[in-house]
Structures are given as structure tokens and as C-alpha cells.
Chain A
């Protein structure tokens, strides 16, 4: 029998950083996959630009009315255009990981992944993270070009710095929420119902519909206490009114939500995995 000492299995199994390296390699693969699908990426960016043009025009009309007592009236000129740009930037950057998970679970392909020594969910999540970062980069550049082309000023440097941190973290929260929706496939087979509920919550409580501070006080309080606000509202609102104290608060909220949602996803995964191992799928 030919031996392969350089590929010693026991040594490999005890590689402490193997999981991290493997996850990073998955991030890279996801990014390469997103870039390989460049026509889709360009189409998504074009849609994003179109959406920004239409929604900005709509909100400019609202601002022109200067409705008293609303945040709209208090915002700096062009603030809502930036707000919309950021919320849509984050929203459109999150890959549909729930569909990938649903497909793997329903088709039984998840079993193939279980034959590997690294955690399936971490690998799939990392791949989506890679795709998400590519989308954010391309659409972010598209937004800056659009702002320049429209003669609008770019956000101030502190706001851009905040966005570079809070934006990807916010999108990561969205990815975790989609992951949880995807894992519902272990029990309900199709993830569309869970996803639709999630989408409506994002729309309302995430501030995609309007800045959550425009809502009645009680609804604002609820919205701000959810992961949906950490997903979109905080990065968007801090772009138009940057503040170091608020940014620290938002960052803390995002990190806490990432930890909590990752824990929930891991718990759901483990419960679902038991079903797979029992042959109950």
C-alpha cells in the first residue's frame, strides 16, 4: 500500500486553524462565484440605480412639502436620498441563502456536505458572505458614481467610514435572518412563508419603508429593539447624521444581534441535523 505521510490525517484533524482557513476559502469561493456571474451582478446594480432614482424622486417630492413635525422636515438636504441608497444597498446585497439551504435540505444534498469534516452551515454561510461582499462593493461604487453624476455631494468622510463598518455588519445580520428562514425547510420544506414574514418585518421594522423614527413613538421603540433596525436602519441613519456616540451604540447592537442570531441559527441547525441523522427528512 502506498503511504502519503505528507497528508497525515491525524495531523490534519488537529489543525487548530483549519476551520477558519476553510471558512475563508469559502468566502473567496463565494466572491469568485458572484464575480463569475457578472451579468447578474451588473443587472442587480442597474436595478439598484434605477430604484434609487425613482425612490429619491418620490421622497424629494415629499420633502418639498416640508411636512411639519416629521424627521423628513428635519433632515439635511439630500438626506433621504442617502438613506434610501444605503437601505437598498444593504437589502440588495444579501444573497438568497434561504433558497440554497432549502434546496440542499429538500433535495437531500445536505447529506453530501455532512460527509465533510467542516461544518456545513459555516461553509454555506461563508460562501454567501463572499458573494455579499462582492455585491456591496460593486453596488457601493455604482451608488457613488450615481451621486456624482446627479451632482449630489458624497456623504462626509466620517459617515462613509461608519458605512464601511456598519453596512457589511448590517448585511451580515440580514444574511443570518435569511439563514434562519432557510433552516425552516427542515420542518416546513418550503421557506417561502418564513421568508415572506421576514421580508415584511424588514420592510416595516428595518426602516426600508421609511426611517423608523417617523413611526409613532411606541412603534419606533419596538423597531429599534429588533435585529431589523440593526440590519438597515442604523447604518442608513448614521450615514445622514453621523455621530461617534450613536455609531458606537449601533455597532454594539449589531455585534450583539450577530452573536444572538448566529446562536439561534446554530441551535436550529443542530435540531434539524438530528432529523437528517435519524432519516426523518
Chain B
């Protein structure tokens, strides 16, 4: 057995979609002689993940992140290639693997909406053959760690998105998995809830020595949770490097948007570039290696006339485009 928790070799997944023809006769013809379009969602990726690593798989929409996660968790068969997770072939030994992994899909719930979270947890305990004092202790630990005591009696559908996500992560950890797959765990959450979720994931992984594989569109998830980043674009790995290195190279930018309807905002500082925007807005890209965000804000506020300020990370698509460009230089 290899020391790696996950080993992936030349993994490929090609989806086949029927080409739909227009009109009545087209539909009839299509039924008798269907034609298909092939899409390479994952196109020959290879990597290894060691025990205890926290790895982000990032990329734009349709890059192949979720497809990779589905293959590694055993719910999707690849077209070709190999993958082993804890020395198991995920799609052939799905149920055996299920005892060792926890999975959270940010856009799908694994809890029973109409029932209190504690009922879902109790059933999940049975599903994973966890019971008795050991399970009660584990659940009590997680309730304390994720501050869920006051939420346990409420139907899940009445919880806020952030509260629900804490319950989702707890549900995925009940059977003490050694490996956690998180697919967009902070999607749709506000800033405070995102921060709480990142803290929970990081703290839990550190305390239990858990391996974490995370996909996200949010660069902050990657910076704050993961120590390694795999960038995928069009089904292929573009970059695989430590987060620190990626941060220095590509995640050193912020976008500051100033809502200033009454004046034209000018900021003359190194590392600040103005981007095209609507007339009442001023959008600046800031290279945080050259200038701090608060310096830019202070310079902007000097002239007055600012109604609102937004600070954001550049969209993931831009980050990946830049990474892709540098990788192919």
C-alpha cells in the first residue's frame, strides 16, 4: 500500500450527450439514428494526496472539479485511468469507502429538512453503524465544536444557510472519516458564515489529522483552509503547488469598488490600476504586494464623495486565466 491517501493516474471522464435535432421529423430521425457529442470533463489527470494534506481543487465552471470529486468518492465511473483512495477503487468499492470518507456538497443537503438535525444525526449514526456511548461522545464533541446545541431541536429547513452548513459538515464527520471531500462548502454564505465554516473545517482537520480535499470558487477558502492547490482547466491540471507559492504569484490582488456618483476618483499609488466601469463607479485592482488595501481606501476617502466601498477577490475565472497564461508562457 502506498503512503498516499489518494492516488490518481491518467484519470479521464468523457460525457456523452445526444445531439437533439430540431422539429418533429428531426426528433423522429434522432430516435432511429441518434448522434452524440462527446465532452472531456476530465482529461488525463494524475496526482497524489498524502495523509493530513488539505488540498484545494480549483478552476472555472465546467473545469472538471466536481467530476473529479465524484470519481474519487465513488459515485461516478471514469472512462479510463486509475484512482485509489485508501487503497480502494472508489467506484468498485463504494460502500467500503463510504465508512472512511465524509462528503459535503454545498448545494445539496444530506439532512432531512422537515426534521430536527438531531434526528438526522441519529439516523446517520445507524447508517454508519455508529452507536452507543462512543457515538454519543462523538456527537457531543461535534455539537460543542460547531456550537450546535441551540440548533439541534429545530427543523433543518428553518435554519439559516450558515447554520445548515455547520449541520451538514457535522453530519459528514459523525463516523470520524479520515478524508473529507468538500464541494463548494461556502457557496451562498455571507462573509461571517464563510469565516465560521473555514475555521470549523481547519480546526477539525488539525485536531483529527484529517485529509481535506476542497473545491471552491472562493479564493479565500483556498488561502485559509488549504496548504496545496491543484488548478484544473478544461479537464487538465494547469498548476499543482503549495498555497503560499500560489498566493505570492496569483492571489495577491484585490478589487476595490468605490461608489462615487458626484466625482471622478483618482488614486495615484503604486500597484493600483483602474479598471473600466460604469460612470458612477470606480473599480481599482490592487496588487497587495505593493500597496495595502487600507492605504488605497484612505487615499480614496481623502477627496470625499464616496457613498459605498466594496472589497472583493478577483473572480476565480480571472485567477485561473492568469495562472493558465503564466503556466503556458
Residues of A near any B CB (own CB < 8 A):
1-2, 4, 6-7, 9, 12-13, 15, 18, 21-22, 24-26, 29, 32-33, 36-37, 107-109, 111-118, 123, 276-280
Contact = CB atoms under 8 A, between A and B. Distances in A.
Contact of A279 (B13, B112, B207): B13
Nearest to B113: A33
A24 to B, nearest CB: 8
Which are the 4 A-B pairs with shortest beta-carbon distances? A1-B209, A6-B134, A25-B126, A12-B129
Contacts of A118: 95, 127
B236 to A, nearest CB: 19
Nearest to B207: A2
Given A6-B134, A115-B103, A279 B73 contact: no
A279 B99 contact: no
A278 B94 CA distance: 14
B138 A7 contact: yes
26 contacts: A2-B207, A2-B208, A7-B138, A12-B129, A12-B175, A15-B129, A25-B126, A26-B126, A32-B115, A33-B114, A33-B115, A36-B115, A36-B155, A37-B114, A111-B108, A112-B109, A114-B74, A114-B75, A115-B110, A116-B124, A117-B99, A118-B127, A123-B127, A277-B76, A279-B15, A280-B16
Interface in B218-259: none
Given A22-B127, A111-B75, A276-B75, A29 B134 contact: no
B123 interface: yes
A114 B95 CA distance: 8
A109 B108 contact: yes
A114 B209 contact: no
Given A7-B138, A111-B70, A278-B77, 8 more contacts: A7-B130, A7-B175, A12-B129, A12-B175, A21-B129, A33-B114, A107-B108, A114-B94
A1 B209 CA distance: 5
Contacts of B124: 116
Interface string B103-137: 10100111010110001001111111111011101
B52 A117 contact: no
Among A1, A7, A36, A115, residue most surrounded by chain B Cβ atoms (within 10 Å):
A115
B126 A116 contact: no
Interface in B71-111: 73-77, 91, 94-96, 98-101, 103, 105, 108-110
A21 B126 contact: yes
Contacts of A277: 75-77, 91
A279 B12 CA distance: 13
B265 interface: no
Nearest to A111: B75
A112 B122 CA distance: 17
B72 to A, nearest CB: 11
Nearest to A114: B75
B319 interface: no
Contacts of A18: 126, 129
Contacts of B105: 111-112
Contacts of A21: 126, 129, 131
A188 B119 CA distance: 33
A115 B180 CA distance: 12
A25 B52 contact: no
